[in-house]
């Protein structure tokens, strides 16, 4: 049995990851901020287990790690994120964007790392974006891009520690995907993006650890 954990599975790309892995017979742990009102996630068929997680709530991260203690997690994907906009923002919005997009993926993965290290596949993916390339940049603030650039910086700093535990971790760019975050004009369906990312993850070897890859497996500029 192969086990996948998807952080941020209520909508969009995370929901589609949960749906496709569950449809293919994986055991799926999926997080949502509202497990009592799971929406479309509640209709996903398969070996699906819902967990509550707001990624800015440290006690909820601890509770998730406790709930999954002793469980091997073959593939851990942190998809949760927000797009707080392209321009600069208030200090509050800037802090929230950094907390959710840059800090939470590292903190959440770290909390679940024992389970990944105990698994067969030992793979981790954090959902970044091509908009994080070359960022953060103080001269032209972009809340979203800067937060993803900061995630990339933090990921590159910590990935060698994860690698030392035998884990293969990558940053992913899902493509430009039609979700609530982007709207109907985006070029890819969630199905296409997720199919591509699943292929990328399935093909990862230990040598790929630390790369920034798009949904086709092509390298993205840091
Ligand atoms: N769509 C694209 O074209 C695109 C391109 C590049 C990168 N990405 C990245 O891909 C990831 C998924 O994006 P998406 O397009 O699927 O976005 P989406 O449709 O807006 O979904 C965002 C997901 O993140 C969750 N989330 C937000 N804040 C959270 C928090 N504090 N705690 C827990 N979960 C939280 C949401 O949960 P709720 O339902 O509870 O709000 C939702 O499940 C993001 O990291 C995004 O930056 C997307």
Number of domains in the chain: 1
Q: How far apart are CA 105 and CA 196, in angstroms?
A: 21
Distance CA 87, CA 28 (A): 36
Cβ atoms of residues 125 and 109 within 8 Å: no
Q: What is the span of the domain harbouring residue 33?
A: 3-214
Domain presence at residue 165: yes
Condensed to tens digits (0 to 9), the pLDDT of residues 17-46 reads 999 999 999 999 999 999 999 999 999 999
Q: Which atom of ligand 1 is nearest to the CA of 181?
A: 20
Question: For residue 139, what pLDDT is reported?
Answer: 83
Looking at the whole model, is its pTM more than 0.95? yes
Quick check: is 220 in a domain? no
Does the C-beta of 129 come closer than 6 Å to ligand 1? yes
Q: What string of pLDDT tens digits covers the 222 residues of the chain?
A: 999 999 999 999 999 999 999 999 999 999 999 999 999 999 999 999 999 999 999 999 999 999 999 999 999 999 999 998 877 778 999 999 999 999 999 999 999 999 999 999 999 999 999 999 999 888 888 999 999 999 999 999 999 999 999 999 999 999 999 999 999 999 999 999 999 999 999 999 999 999 999 999 999 999
Give the whole-angstrom CA distance, residue 151 versus residue 171: 9
CB 81 near ligand 1, within 6 Å: yes
Q: CB of 82 closer than 6 A to ligand 1?
A: yes
Ligand 1 atom 2, closest CA: 177
In the sheet with 3-7, reading across from the earlier edge strand, the strands are 47-52, 27-32, 3-7, 75-78, 123-127, 168-173, 212-214
Q: Is residue 219 part of a domain?
A: no
Give the position, in ligand 1's atom list, of the atom nearest the Cα of 148. Answer: 47
Residue 151's domain is classified under what CATH number?
3.40.50.720
70 is a domain residue: yes
């Amino acid at each position: 049995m192969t086990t996948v954990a998807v952080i941020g599975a209520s909508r969009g790309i995370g929901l589609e990851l949960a749906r496709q892995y569950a449809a293919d017979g994986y055991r799926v742990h999926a997080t949502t901020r509202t497990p009592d009102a799971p929406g479309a996630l509640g209709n996903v068929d398969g070996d699906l287990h819902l967990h509550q997680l707001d990624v800015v709530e440290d006690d909820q991260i601890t509770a998730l790690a406790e709930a999954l203690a002793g469980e091997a997690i073959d593939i851990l994907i942190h998809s949760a994120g927000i797009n707080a906009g392209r321009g600069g923002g208030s200090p509050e919005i800037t802090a929230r964007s950094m907390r959710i997009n840059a800090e939470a993926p590292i903190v959440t993965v770290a909390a679940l790392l024992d389970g990944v290290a105990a698994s067969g596949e030992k793979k981790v993916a954090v959902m970044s974006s091509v908009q994080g390339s070359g960022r953060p940049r103080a001269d032209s603030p972009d809340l979203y891009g800067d937060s993803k650039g900061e995630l990339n910086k933090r990921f590159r700093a910590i990935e060698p520690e994860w690698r030392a535990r035998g884990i293969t971790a990558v940053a992913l760019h899902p493509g430009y995907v039609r979700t609530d975050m982007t709207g109907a004009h985006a070029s890819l369906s969630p199905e296409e993006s997720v199919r591509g990312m699943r292929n990328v993850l399935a093909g990862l070897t230990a040598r790929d650890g630390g790369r920034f890859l798009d949904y086709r497996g092509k390298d993205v500029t840091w």
